[in-house]
Structure formats: C-alpha cells, structure tokens
Amino acid sequence: MQGLRSGMPSAIEVHGLGKRFGPVRAVDDLSFEVAQGRVTGFLGPNGSGKTTTLRMLLGLVSISEGTATIGGKRYADLEHPIRHVGAALEATSFHPTRRAEDHLKSVALAGGVPLSRVTETLETVGLTDVARRRVGKFSLGMRQRLQLATALLGDPDILILDEPANGLDPQGIQWLRSFIRNQAALGHAVLVSSHLLAEVEETVDDIVIISEGKLVLQTTLADLASQAGSGTGMRIRTPEITRLAEALNAVPVAWRQIAPDTLVIDGATPEWFGPFAAEHRIVLYELVQEKGSLEDVFLQLTTGFDAPRPVDPAPGGPA
C-alpha cells in the first residue's frame, strides 16, 4: 500500500486497532500509517493510548481487535526483528550492575547482529566514554541514549521511539532532534510519540493525534500549521471602540470584544486593517497581529481528556 501523502511505501500500518483492559477501552478502532523516509509524530495527552498502541505494534501487548503491521508483517513474524525495527520504549529497562557495552552485546548476540555494531552505536549516541560503566550509575539522559543505541543496534529501517525526550536536558533534546532528522535523511521511517506537540514540532513531517484511544487526526505538519494559521487575527486597542465596532459591522469579518478598549478581528491582516482604520479615521493605540500556535490547535483537538474512560459508565471511574 502507498502512503497517503508522501507517495512512499508505508513502513507501519495500523488498521482498526483496539485494546480492551477489562472494562477500559485503551485503544479504539485506531488506523494510521507511517511512511518510509519521514518522521511521524504520534501525539496525544498522557493516558490517551499511545504507549499501548506502540506496544501492540511491537508484540508486547496482545491485540484485541484489528491489525498492526510492520512492512506488512506482524512484529512476531519478523525474522531477527531488531534488524528491521528499532524500538526505544522506556528508560528503566536495564539491569543496574550490567555495563552499557555488555547490555548492547547481549542484545546483539540474541538478535543476530554483528558485535561490531556495539562500538558503532555507542559512538552514534555519544556514550563511548562510559561504555564500561554500569548502567545503574547512568543519569536518565544517559539511559535514554543507551535506549537509542539499543534501538539502532540492528541498523533498522524503522525506529519507534516512545517519549524519547523525557529526562533529557535542553542540550540532549537538541541532539535528539538532529538525530531523528538524520534518521529520516537516511530514508528511515521514524515514529516518535510525545504528549507535547512543541517537543516534536521542529522534527516531524507527519502527525497522528489520538485522544481517548481514538484517532483525532492524521495529517502533515504543514497542513496543521496552515490550520493554525487560519486562527490568525488582529488585536486592536482603541479609544473609539464603538465607532470601530460600527465600521466592522458593515464589512464581512468576524470580531469580538475582549476588553473595554480592545477587540480581536479574526483572519485580518495589517495590510487590510491599516487602510481600513485610516479610511474611517479611527485612532489606534495598539495594533498587534496574533498567530494561533500549533499547540493551540493541538490542545483544541485533544482537550478535556486525560485518561481513557470505561466503556460503560460504571461506578468507580477510570481504572
């Protein structure tokens, strides 16, 4: 199947995916695609089902309904899966007394990957100096890097990263961004989850937004940005608010008053409003162009839901 937008083949396909934990429907009829050579942001508030979806995709959590495939195959059916898919799920899954190098060696041996990759990936993530250190002594940021090294070990075409920015310092986040962009530049598909759009805004090409385990929107970042742009408006402060209101009522624009001396005109530009105000000889104290941010759109799309709710309105609330 071809990707919807990019024209490149889909690396990951999710169709009608569902997961029930008892009465809780954590993921519900979810469908989306991840294209090869692009970075897809998998976004949703905490508890919206992102991690469950990724774990179903990776065969760690059983699927209640639907399918989740990688290159057309279920994860468990891949021969030496870590050569195809690299996954970094959580920063805690290391044995504390094991050295970073030994951790990677054990994964390489079990996964059918040459041991030379251990040194290479340690270098890629910048952990060469601490290769012989026990992971128990690692900071959260170093663990995240070691997770990434683990994911990269099999030199996979597809990377799945669950909240990789958690615990990283600003420098680390900057490094992570360029790392992800590099992966896409190499032609790899990257699916990266986050509960903050701002965190991945500079990195992703495509966006999948879920809320309450359901798909809200699959789109490109460019489309989302233009949606955000449509929220553009002018904020105007004037001592002659009544006259301005009368003048605006005569033209087809939407506006609203937000303070005794201030109003906002939707979709207006300074190029239009400047001459308009001059024509009506209205005195202005302040004229500001307002841009709706991507984060506003994101919040608008996902607002109000923090956790999946029971299918039945049973007493007890969310589990």
| Residues at the interface with other proteins (CB under 8 A) | 51-52, 55, 58-62, 75-76, 78, 81-82, 87, 89-90, 92-99, 102-103, 105-107, 109-112, 150
Closest approach, Cβ 181 to other proteins, in A, equals: 24
Closest approach, Cβ 147 to other proteins, in A, equals: 9
Contact (Cβ atoms closer than 8 angstroms) between residue 215 and residue 68: no
Nearer to other proteins, 100 or 197 (CB): 100
Closest approach, Cβ 224 to other proteins, in A, equals: 30
Structure tokens at 264: 């906002």
Contact (Cβ atoms closer than 8 angstroms) between residue 264 and residue 290: yes
Nearer to other proteins, 115 or 283 (CB): 115
Nearer to other proteins, 89 or 244 (CB): 89
Nearer to other proteins, 55 or 145 (CB): 55
Beta bridge partners of 9: 2
Structure tokens at 26: 């954590």
Nearer to other proteins, 61 or 307 (CB): 61
d(CA 141, CA 139): 5
Closest approach, Cβ 63 to other proteins, in A, equals: 10
Cα–Cα distances in angstroms (integers) from residue 72 to residues 11, 83, 220, 265, in the given order: 8, 15, 23, 49
Q: What is the DSSP code (8-state) at residue 6?
A: S
Nearer to other proteins, 83 or 237 (CB): 83
Sign of torsion over alpha carbons 49, 50, 54, 60: negative
Closest approach, Cβ 118 to other proteins, in A, equals: 11
Residue whose C-alpha is closest to residue 238's, from 270, 261, 265 = 261
Closest approach, Cβ 80 to other proteins, in A, equals: 9
